[in-house]
C-alpha cells in the first residue's frame, strides 16, 4: 500500500511539473488574444490598464515556467513580444522572461515606477557596492574610470573639472532611462554629496542627467578607486545593478 501511495505522489509531482510547461504555440495564442483585446479597446498605453499589465505578466510567466528545451523558439517569442527591443543570449531567455513577468506584475499593483527608483550603498568586507534599483526596459549601462582631464558632467553640458570630487573619479552611465519622481526627491541632481567616509578616504557622489534619457552617477575620491570597467552591457528588465568599488 505504501508503495502505491509513493508512486501516486511521484506521478502527481511529474504531472504538476509537466503542467507548468507551455508550448510556444500555447503562449502565442494567449499573446494574440491579449493583443486583439488591446487593439479592440483602443489602448494607447498599456501601463494605463491593469488588465493589460496582468496579461503580459502572465504571458511572460508562462515562458519563464516552460521547458528548458527549444530555447531558440522561446527567445524568438520574447523578442517578438518586446518588438525586438530586448537583447539577450538565447540560453538566458527564461531569466529574462521571469524579470519581465515580475516587472509587469509590480506595475499592475503600483509597486514600482519605470526608471531609476533608488540608489544605496552596501558595505562589503573589501570595500562597498553601489546598488541601483531600476525598472523598465533593458537598459544599457557602462562603468569607466575618469582621468583628471575628463570633463565635469553637469546638466546638459560638460565643464572643465574643478577638482571638487577629488583626484580620482569613476562614472556609471545608464542610457535610455529616466529618474523617477521618488528618486529625484531623494537626490538633488548636480549636487556633490559625501557618500562614504572612512579612516582612509572620503568618497563623494554626484548624480547628473545630461539629457532626458540618461542618468550619470559620478563617484570621486582623493585615493585611487578600484572598479571593474565595462562598456554597454544590458540589464534585465527589472532588478538591481550592483557595482563593486574599493579604495586602493
More confident residue, 237 or 31: 31
Q: Which of 3-17, 82-96, 201-215 has the lowest mean pLDDT?
A: 3-17
Distance CA 110, CA 117 (A): 13
Banded pLDDT at 26 (limits 50, 70, 90): very high
Distance CA 77, CA 63 (A): 9
Q: Which of 81-90, 111-120, 131-140 has the lowest mean pLDDT?
A: 131-140
User: What pLDDT does 5 receive?
Assistant: 39
Encode 144-199 in three state secondary structure: EEECCCCCEEECCEEECCCCCCCCEEEEEEEECCCECHHHHHHCCCCCCEEEEECC
Kindly report, residue by residue over 199-221, the tens digit of the pLDDT: 677 889 999 887 767 889 999 99
Banded pLDDT at 7 (limits 50, 70, 90): very low
User: What pLDDT does 10 receive?
Assistant: 40
| H helix and E strand count, the chain | 6, 12
More confident residue, 153 or 7: 153
More confident residue, 35 or 85: 35
Q: Please compute the mean of the pLDDT values over residues 73-101 and round it to a whole number.
A: 92
- Statement: residue 18 has pLDDT above 70: no
Fold of the domain spanning 115-247: Immunoglobulin-like (2.60.40)
User: What pLDDT does 3 receive?
Assistant: 43
HSE (CB half, 13 Å, CA atoms) of 105? 12
State the pTM of this model: 0.76
Q: Please compute the mean of the pLDDT values over residues 164-171 and round it to a whole number.
A: 92
Q: Which grid coordinates are listed for 131?
A: 546598488
- Statement: residue 16 has pLDDT above 70: no
Using N-to-C axis directions, what is the helix angle for 93-108 and 50-64, rounded to 10°? 160
Looking only at the bridges linking them, the beta strands covering 127-135 and 238-247 are antiparallel
HSE (CB half, 13 Å, CA atoms) of 184? 9
DSSP, collapsed to helix, strand or coil, labels residue 235 as coil
HSE (CB half, 13 Å, CA atoms) of 232? 1
Domain ranges of the chain: 2-108, 115-247
More confident residue, 127 or 221: 221
Amino acid at each position: 500500500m505504501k508503495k502505491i501511495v509513493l508512486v501516486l505522489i511521484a506521478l502527481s509531482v511529474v504531472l504538476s511539473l509537466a503542467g507548468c510547461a507551455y508550448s510556444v504555440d500555447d503562449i502565442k495564442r494567449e499573446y494574440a488574444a491579449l493583443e486583439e483585446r488591446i487593439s479592440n479597446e483602443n489602448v494607447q498605453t498599456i501601463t494605463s490598464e491593469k488588465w493589460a499589465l496582468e496579461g503580459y505578466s502572465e504571458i511572460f510567466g508562462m515562458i519563464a515556467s516552460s521547458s528548458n528545451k527549444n530555447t531558440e523558439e522561446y527567445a524568438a517569442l520574447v523578442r517578438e513580444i518586446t518588438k525586438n527591443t530586448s537583447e539577450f543570449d538565447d540560453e538566458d531567455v527564461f531569466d529574462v522572461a521571469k524579470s519581465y513577468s515580475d516587472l509587469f506584475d509590480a506595475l499592475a499593483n503600483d509597486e514600482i515606477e519605470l526608471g531609476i527608483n533608488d540608489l544605496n550603498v552596501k558595505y562589503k568586507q573589501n570595500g562597498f557596492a553601489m546598488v541601483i534599483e531600476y525598472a523598465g526596459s533593458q537598459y544599457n549601462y557602462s562603468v569607466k574610470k575618469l582621468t583628471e582631464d575628463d570633463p565635469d558632467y553637469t546638466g546638459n553640458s560638460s565643464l572643465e573639472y574643478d577638482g571638487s570630487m577629488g583626484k580620482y573619479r569613476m562614472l556609471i552611465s545608464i542610457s535610455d532611462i529616466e529618474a523617477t519622481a521618488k528618486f529625484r526627491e531623494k537626490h538633488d541632481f548636480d549636487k556633490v554629496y559625501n557618500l562614504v567616509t572612512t579612516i582612509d578616504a572620503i568618497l563623494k557622489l554626484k548624480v547628473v542627467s545630461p539629457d532626458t534619457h540618461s542618468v550619470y552617477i559620478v563617484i570621486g575620491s582623493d585615493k585611487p578607486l578600484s572598479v571593474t570597467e565595462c562598456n554597454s552591457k544590458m540589464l534585465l528588465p527589472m532588478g538591481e545593478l550592483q557595482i563593486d568599488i574599493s579604495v586602493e
